[in-house]
Structure 1
Amino acid sequence: MTHEKNLVPFNGYIMLLVFLILATGSTYLLITKESPIYIIGIVLALFMLPGFVLVNPNNSRVLLLFGKYIGTIKKNGLFWVIPFYTKKAISLRASNFDSERLKVNDKLGNPVMISTILVWRVTDTYKAAFDVDDYKNFVRVQTDAAVRKLASMYPYDNFADEGHKEDITLRSSVNEVSEALEKEVQERLAMAGIEVLEARIGYLAYAQEIANAMLKRQQATAIVAARHKIVEGAVSMVEMALDQLSKKQVVDLDDERKAAMVSNLMVVLCSDKDASPIVNAGTLNH
């Protein structure tokens, strides 16, 4: 057998009643009748005792008979099985796993620190019990392996200045990366009968040795982008000012004076400090 088999055992409450009747009745008769034959009833009662199985909600018991898989009890309650059965408990509840922070290289070779949060549960008790050695340790090891593989598939961030423009990155594409991680982990854990309910990155940062350098790089990229927008807006404003002066014939400017006006306006609009205007009280030629 290579798959899970649901087992419906005997009702434990009925067998508990039989056990109490057999144990108390045999003890009473042994004392009153003083016949050793009633010891057999006590022995049978003691033989029944290991057969009781209590299954709590969202738990299971995998039953073995001398190394042979018999079935799995998933229904909660009190049951009775053959006392020779070996009973192994496997939880069916959803479990959280927060991996350690791993140092891995992203697609561009940058060292990053990454960890994942995994929500999983057992769906096939046969595979969890017999197809892997320790299914809980299997979850930890395979999750770490999946995270290492995922980190090598995507860059930490976009760097358009070096031609490494990527649509999906570890930092910005949270949904896409989580879906890829969940799929990768599910493929690895399927052989252990485990279902992945959720997988997402819990921690992500550059490694300590390059964190300061990358922070400066991000700041420089932000400054360049801001300057680009400032210059673009300043050019539009200067163009609009010259166009309005020409249309309304406020002043007639030759090419040299237009160049001087453009220069002054660009300095005022693009400067990161407040400009100090100088009022010319003379003519335009002075």
Structure 2
Amino acid sequence: MSSTTTSQTAGSGGPAEERPDGEPRGTGAAPGGGPAIGLGPGKDTKDAPRPARLIQNEATTEIPVHLLFRDDPEPGPLLPVDPAAIGRPQTGGIGAPGLPLGSSGYPRSTQGPPPTPRLRRPGRHTPRPAAQVDPALVERPARVLPGTVGVLAGTCGAAGCVATSWWAGVLPHLATEALHLPVYGGTGLGLVQWAAYAGSGALGLFGFGGLARGRTGRAWVLGLFGRYRGTVRRTGLLWVNPLLLRRRVDVRLRHWRSEPMPAADGSGVALRAVVLVVWRVRDTARATLGVEDHETYLRECVEAALARVPVEMPGAGRGPVETAGDALTRLVAADAGAIGLEVYSVQPVRVEYAPEVAAAMHRRRIAALDAQHRATVLTSVVDSVEDTVTRLTMRGLVELDDYERKALVKDLTVAFCAGRGEGGA
């Protein structure tokens, strides 16, 4: 009977096993045709280096496991390259030509270790752009004259027309007598008379046509052929160029009570909210020329703010209502300030559930109130029972063991619950 060689495989330390072909494991050639890793028969395994574990499949090159987790490549010696092997896939193991060797003597990929994955830092939050209009569109005072100038110009124009009629001899006899004018036959209507009529009429029309009355809390935005010419905030009798287009703007402090608008609470339950907005026009130029209708724009800003701010139902204290009002005021003021509107307050004055969820939410609220009431009653009963048992025991009126104590607690609980139920009924 032949003796069995007790060689050890590298990395296992146990006895060598025989392959199906009769060759003991740990000897012979390495996979891929490289030199043998294991030790031959009769050799001590303590002097042999322990090979690294390999990952290998049918289509990839053998890569040592430790190379997959290295941060920096370690250069190793290069073996001579076989010109005939250029262009063929490298499938060899240790000693494959042309592949660099690492510090452990095993080949690694020529492309180096895989790059270390880096975590991408979250980008900075880019704030949404603020609404703005033409920076050059700013309110400025318009040039107007006192009303006496217009009255004087209109009177002069009317007087010129009367004088021209007397000169041409077309003034009625009654008017001549009323004005105490001398009788004059007149020269007739000629080119000069018609020119005098035109000048006097134009002066009268411009004088009387430009008269305007300024009121407190009202302003006029003036424009000429689509160009902004200024704003009139003066009061009293004024003369404004009649060729200018006038737009009256209310600059008083105003409040607007909205119709029920869609909203939501912190849990996403659909609500209907009525808000009260206190506002005024600060820049008349931007309010009238920056948007088509500043009141419609304000309404849409309120709707957008309600879609972003959760509104709580009343009854949970003043805190949530005031918080929602402050947030709504801040958002609406920021959006409406671009067109010259100054918003002082946006407060929800009535909040109710939307019709599609009103019935379900009312039932849920009643159930929550009932559960809260039951918990309050139970807490009160337990406190009363505990106080009664403690007093009886501490004063020495009764001596109770565990069984008797449990029975007394049970009887007192039933009695107190029955009494609370009759009192609540």
When normalised by structure 1's length, the TM-score is: 0.81
Q: Report the equivalent of 1:11.
A: 146
The answer to whether the aligner puts 1:192 opposite 2:339 as a matched pair is yes
The answer to whether the aligner puts 1:25 opposite 2:173 as a matched pair is no
Q: Report the equivalent of 2:235.
A: 76
Q: C-alpha displacement at 1:171, in angstroms?
A: 8.5
The answer to whether the aligner puts 1:260 opposite 2:407 as a matched pair is yes
Q: Report the equivalent of 1:202.
A: 349
Q: Is the 8 A contact 1:29 1:38 kept in 2?
A: no
Secondary structure, aligned partner of 2:309: helix
For the structure 1 residues 178 and 27, does the alpha-carbon distance in structure 2 shift closer, same or farther, using more than 3 Å as the test? same
Task: Choose between structure 1 and 2: higher helix proportion.
Answer: 1
Q: Is the 8 A contact 2:264 2:270 kept in 1?
A: yes
Secondary structure, aligned partner of 2:229: strand
For the structure 1 residues 215 and 229, does the alpha-carbon distance in structure 2 shift closer, same or farther, using more than 3 Å as the test? same
Q: Report the equivalent of 2:267.
A: 108
Q: Which amino acid aligns with 2:367?
A: A
Secondary structure, aligned partner of 2:223: strand
Separation in structure 2 between the aligned mates of residue 15 and residue 260 of structure 1, nearest angstrom: 104
Q: Is the 8 A contact 1:157 1:170 kept in 2?
A: yes
The answer to whether the aligner puts 1:122 opposite 2:281 as a matched pair is yes
When normalised by structure 2's length, the TM-score is: 0.56
Q: Is the 8 A contact 1:181 1:200 kept in 2?
A: yes
Q: Is the 8 A contact 1:55 1:75 kept in 2?
A: yes
Asked which structure has the greater RCO (Cα within 8 Å, sep 6+), the reply is 1
Q: Which amino acid aligns with 2:339?
A: A
Q: Report the equivalent of 2:67.
A: none
Separation in structure 2 between the aligned mates of residue 256 and residue 183 of structure 1, nearest angstrom: 65
Q: Is the 8 A contact 1:103 1:111 kept in 2?
A: yes
Give matches, 1:73-222, under 5 Å: 73-151=232-310, 156=313, 173-222=320-369
Separation in structure 2 between the aligned mates of residue 136 and residue 243 of structure 1, nearest angstrom: 70
Q: Which amino acid aligns with 2:237?
A: L
Q: C-alpha displacement at 1:38, in angstroms?
A: 4.1
Match 2:391 to one of 229, 244, 264: 244
Whose radius of gyration is greater, 1 or 2?
A: 2
Q: Deviations over 1:249-274 (max 9, x none)?
A: 22222222221111111122234523
Q: Is the 8 A contact 1:51 1:80 kept in 2?
A: yes
Q: Is the 8 A contact 2:153 2:203 kept in 1?
A: no
Q: Deviations over 1:74-109 (max 9, x none)?
A: 122221123322222111123332323233443323
For the structure 1 residues 76 and 28, does the alpha-carbon distance in structure 2 shift closer, same or farther, using more than 3 Å as the test? same
Give the CA RMSD over aligned residues: 2.5
Q: C-alpha displacement at 1:186, in angstroms?
A: 0.9
Q: Deviations over 1:224-261 (max 9, x none)?
A: 22222222222222222122212322222222222111
Q: Is the 8 A contact 1:108 1:155 kept in 2?
A: no
Q: C-alpha displacement at 1:42, in angstroms?
A: 2.7
Identical-pair percentage: 26
Separation in structure 2 between the aligned mates of residue 223 and residue 149 of structure 1, nearest angstrom: 32
Q: C-alpha displacement at 1:125, in angstroms?
A: 0.8
Aligned length: 262
Q: C-alpha displacement at 1:156, in angstroms?
A: 4.9
Q: Report the equivalent of 2:214.
A: 55
Q: Report the equivalent of 1:274.
A: 422
Q: Is the 8 A contact 1:63 1:71 kept in 2?
A: yes
Separation in structure 1 between the aligned mates of residue 165 and residue 278 of structure 2, nearest angstrom: 58
Task: Choose between structure 1 and 2: higher strand proportion.
Answer: 1
